[in-house]
Structure 1
Amino acid sequence: MFTAAIVVCAGCANRGSPAPRTTWVAQRAAALDAGVPAIIRSRRIAGAGVALIRDGRLAWTGYYGEQGPGVPASRTTMFNTASLAKSITAETAVRLASAGMLSLDEPIAAWYLEPDLADDPRYARLTPRIILSHRSGLLNWEYQYKNKKLAFVADPGTRFGYSGAAYDILAKFLEKKSGLGFDDLVSKTVFEPLGMTHTSMRRRASIDALVTTPMNADGVYEAPYTTTQRDWHHGSWSSASDLFVTLEDYSKFLIDVMNGHAVSIALARERFVVESSFAGAEEWACMAEAGLVCPNPYGFGLGWIVFDYGPHKLVWGGGNDSGENALVHFSPDKPGDAVVIFINGGNGVVASLDIAELIDRDQPLVSYLHQLVDRHRRQ
């Protein structure tokens, strides 16, 4: 364990892409170069990577602080983006459905039986769509149950309930359905077609030198995979909570999602339709107040959180664990523009919001997330 020795270039970033193409990008790049080093110091995070996608192209990337002790963050840094892994799993399922290799509404049980749930008749109701939109009726992870075994807390398909364990059930279904291991299936369906050569759904020895060393909330580096939670998936894939990826590789993926490539027009639209409303989910509630207009509806589509404001939508994806954070957002009504923020540090939630404000202080998503953070702190 050692204290962070932050390496920050004075007023500049380690550039990983060509010079900004537009005034909009140039202005935001200047604001980020001026502001992110101070955020790194004040929030006690190790480092950050930021991508600005404009008109369907990666317009600019900036890297700040450290990947690990004494190692500057750079374009080769593979950030652990935690639950952003779900966006890859969701896209794999959607692409396979679009290719006619599965239906999002077919029963999971026809191909895979989860041992903890096999004797419950409600398991027959689980479908890929229900899992992608977080209506499985399962808690997030096994450790939340007293006996550490999965069990339904609600009937599948009836209400929102965030679950990473359900995504792993979906991944095992995909394995059985395709005859391929999940790693190989994701690579053949998403990574290889997009040229994502610096991405992995599991921690491997071959990427150890590129992966961020997690920093805790006290600004102290931790040895990777030292806690019980992190040990779960060390060396094996997690469809829900492990995605090691460079900023540029994830930007390739996001651009492809926004463009609707390799997906039918119908499924491309369905991705961003609210199927699982946050209504009634207190921990996700939006409370209208000064400067914050709440969407209606808002909740999960097919793997993405969708804010529907009537004339336009905002799509959000993210991940957060004890030593890492990721925040991405874009609007399907204005395809081609997006923001990607990866953080190495236990205070990543607030740091990512600070950085998002440097890009667009009036972004409604930022105001909403600030409200959630403030509510959590008061509890």
Structure 2
Amino acid sequence: MLRRPRVAAAALLFAALLLAALLPAAALPAAAARPLARPPALPEPAALDAEVARAMAATGARGLAVAIVDDGRVVQVRAYGERNARGEPLRTDTVMYAASLTKAVFAYTVMRLVDDGRIELDRPLADYFDRPLPDYPADRKYGPYADLAGDPRWRKLTARHLLTHSGGFANFAFLEPDRRLRIHFEPGTRYSYSGEGLILLQFALERGLGLDLGREMDERVFAPLGMRDTGMIWQPRFAANLADGWTLDGTAVAHDERSRVRAAGSMDTSIADIARFAAALVRGEGLSPRSRKDMVRAQLPIASASQFPVLQPDLPAAQRRPDLAAGLGVVAFRGPQGAGFMKGGHDDNTGNTLVCIERGRRCVVLLSNDVRAEPAFAHLVAFVLGDTGAPYRWEYGSMTFWEPSR
């Protein structure tokens, strides 16, 4: 009489164990997951100063600024080195080029518009236009949308696709061999970094909804957060305290006075200002709980070996980093301290990075007006926050990172 229940119980136990073995770690109960590492104590200012000095001496970088956020509050803002070839000092209020950190601030702006009901993440952008996208005349501020006339997939594109870099575009149309805009894969199916996608979303906001993106960012982000030294285009008042840059070979380059608002990367800011933004984002200020969660959570797996070159083949499943994913305007990951997100920014004479860990609401932001500082970024982030798991090998590909000799 008792055998049948025992057999059934044994069968159920076997099935449960088999299912547990087959499930990915993320699907298992939290109790089965590896315990999170304890966040380290943040470095004292003197220790940070010494480590940054070592990094700058080793890499040859002429200027570097650092901000630290703890429990959603800015606790340290430091600037080191020079802002130009004349040797004038880099300061915490010096205006520096944000490069692609612009994308994260743009995404935050879009999420504020989502909260206000102005745009929906999953509604086709085609619904916002008064004519088919390819019928809009060429405008150098945006993309060559007439190139999409033969591809109906443009009608499927949504804000979520473009903020997760899954619209199917190259980074920019002008980087295509024939300089023509094209959709390389079904929107929403895979990740491939694209500034062009962010420009299309800007086009939808400005031409479809009649908004002025520069004004929206001023009113929804910069003014509320007290970002007085930040703007999406060049402002004459920046000239008195402006950072020029240095390239890999040490050539000094004048700061570009950008005259067009570009969602993909026209923002100027200071380390003090971008620290205010990082603190607001990590604590969720200005966004509904749902929008804040949406922005920084894993939305789409990233299967490429590195961020660049774009449109590279996906890695075999066994070689992918399973925690790496696109958020909205940021990259989401999970490391020893738990969930985090990051965004980088780069051009020939600029290197920037922002890394935040949800646990403890901690962030570090690095802005450099010398691209030679980038090899030290992974070490400096770890020096401040400990081992975060931030995907720097994916971010920078084959770059040789600087590690100090102990």
Between Structure 1 and Structure 2, whose CA radius of gyration is higher? 2
Which residue of the other structure, out of 192, 206, 223, is the alignment partner of 1:192? 223
CA contact (8 A) 2:56 2:62 kept: yes
- Residue 72 of structure 2 corresponds to 56
Given residue 62 of structure 1, which amino acid in structure 2 is its aligned partner? R
Identify if the C-alpha distance between structure 1 residues 371 and 316 changes in structure 2 by more than 3 Å, giving closer, same or farther: closer
Q: How does 1:16-95 map to 2 (within 5 A)?
A: 24-25=41-42, 27-69=43-85, 70-95=87-112
CA contact (8 A) 2:301 2:325 kept: yes
Range with bigger deviation, 47-56 or 303-312: 303-312
Given residue 250 of structure 1, which amino acid in structure 2 is its aligned partner? I
Given residue 207 of structure 2, which amino acid in structure 1 is its aligned partner? K
Q: How does 1:208-357 map to 2 (within 5 A)?
A: 208-225=239-256, 234-279=258-303, 281-284=304-307, 296-309=322-335, 312-335=338-361, 337-357=362-382
Cα offsets for 1:275-296 (capped at 9, x unmatched)? 22112x1225999xxxxxx863
Identify if the C-alpha distance between structure 1 residues 286 and 242 changes in structure 2 by more than 3 Å, giving closer, same or farther: farther
Given residue 29 of structure 1, which amino acid in structure 2 is its aligned partner? P
Given residue 43 of structure 1, which amino acid in structure 2 is its aligned partner? T
Tell me if 1:206 matches 2:237: yes
Identify if the C-alpha distance between structure 1 residues 116 and 186 changes in structure 2 by more than 3 Å, giving closer, same or farther: farther
Which residue of the other structure, out of 364, 368, 373, is the alignment partner of 2:389? 364
Identify if the C-alpha distance between structure 1 residues 186 and 374 changes in structure 2 by more than 3 Å, giving closer, same or farther: closer
Cα offsets for 1:237-293 (capped at 9, x unmatched)? 2111222111111111111112222322222211222222112x1225999xxxxxx
**Distance (whole Å) between structure 2 residues aligned to residue 371 and residue 181 of structure 1:** 34
The CA deviation at 1:334 is: 3.0
**Distance (whole Å) between structure 2 residues aligned to residue 195 and residue 357 of structure 1:** 28
**Distance (whole Å) between structure 2 residues aligned to residue 180 and residue 261 of structure 1:** 23
- Residue 96 of structure 1 corresponds to 113
Q: Any idea what SS the aligned residue of 2:333 has?
A: strand
The CA deviation at 1:224 is: 3.6
**Distance (whole Å) between structure 1 residues aligned to residue 393 and residue 166 of structure 2:** 25
**Distance (whole Å) between structure 2 residues aligned to residue 128 and residue 374 of structure 1:** 28
- Residue 124 of structure 2 corresponds to 107
The CA deviation at 1:375 is: 2.9
Identify if the C-alpha distance between structure 1 residues 131 and 58 changes in structure 2 by more than 3 Å, giving closer, same or farther: same
Given residue 358 of structure 1, which amino acid in structure 2 is its aligned partner? F
Tell me if 1:117 matches 2:148: yes
Cα offsets for 1:121-168 (capped at 9, x unmatched)? 100011001100110000001222122121111121111111001101
Given residue 215 of structure 2, which amino acid in structure 1 is its aligned partner? D
The CA deviation at 1:77 is: 0.7
Give structure 2 stretches of 5+ with no counterpart.
Answer: 1-39, 134-144, 308-313, 402-406
Given residue 263 of structure 2, which amino acid in structure 1 is its aligned partner? S
Given residue 83 of structure 1, which amino acid in structure 2 is its aligned partner? S
Q: Any idea what SS the aligned residue of 1:64 has?
A: strand
**Distance (whole Å) between structure 2 residues aligned to residue 373 and residue 130 of structure 1:** 23
CA contact (8 A) 1:95 1:262 kept: yes
- Residue 211 of structure 2 corresponds to 180
The CA deviation at 1:373 is: 4.4
**Distance (whole Å) between structure 2 residues aligned to residue 200 and residue 240 of structure 1:** 14
Q: Any idea what SS the aligned residue of 1:364 has?
A: coil
Cα offsets for 1:93-126 (capped at 9, x unmatched)? 1110011111111111223423332442100011
CA contact (8 A) 1:316 1:327 kept: yes
CA contact (8 A) 2:334 2:389 kept: no
Given residue 244 of structure 2, which amino acid in structure 1 is its aligned partner? T
Cα offsets for 1:8-59 (capped at 9, x unmatched)? xxxxxxxxxxxxxxx944x342222112123223212120111111122111
Q: TM-score, normalised by structure 2?
A: 0.77
**Distance (whole Å) between structure 2 residues aligned to residue 352 and residue 267 of structure 1:** 29
CA contact (8 A) 1:313 1:332 kept: yes
Range with bigger deviation, 112-121 or 70-79: 112-121
CA contact (8 A) 1:80 1:211 kept: no
Q: Any idea what SS the aligned residue of 2:398 has?
A: helix
**Distance (whole Å) between structure 1 residues aligned to residue 211 and residue 155 of structure 2:** 23
**Distance (whole Å) between structure 2 residues aligned to residue 213 and residue 105 of structure 1:** 40
CA contact (8 A) 1:86 1:240 kept: yes
**Distance (whole Å) between structure 2 residues aligned to residue 364 and residue 28 of structure 1:** 22
The CA deviation at 1:309 is: 4.9
Q: TM-score, normalised by structure 1?
A: 0.82
**Distance (whole Å) between structure 2 residues aligned to residue 282 and residue 262 of structure 1:** 34
- Residue 5 of structure 2 corresponds to none
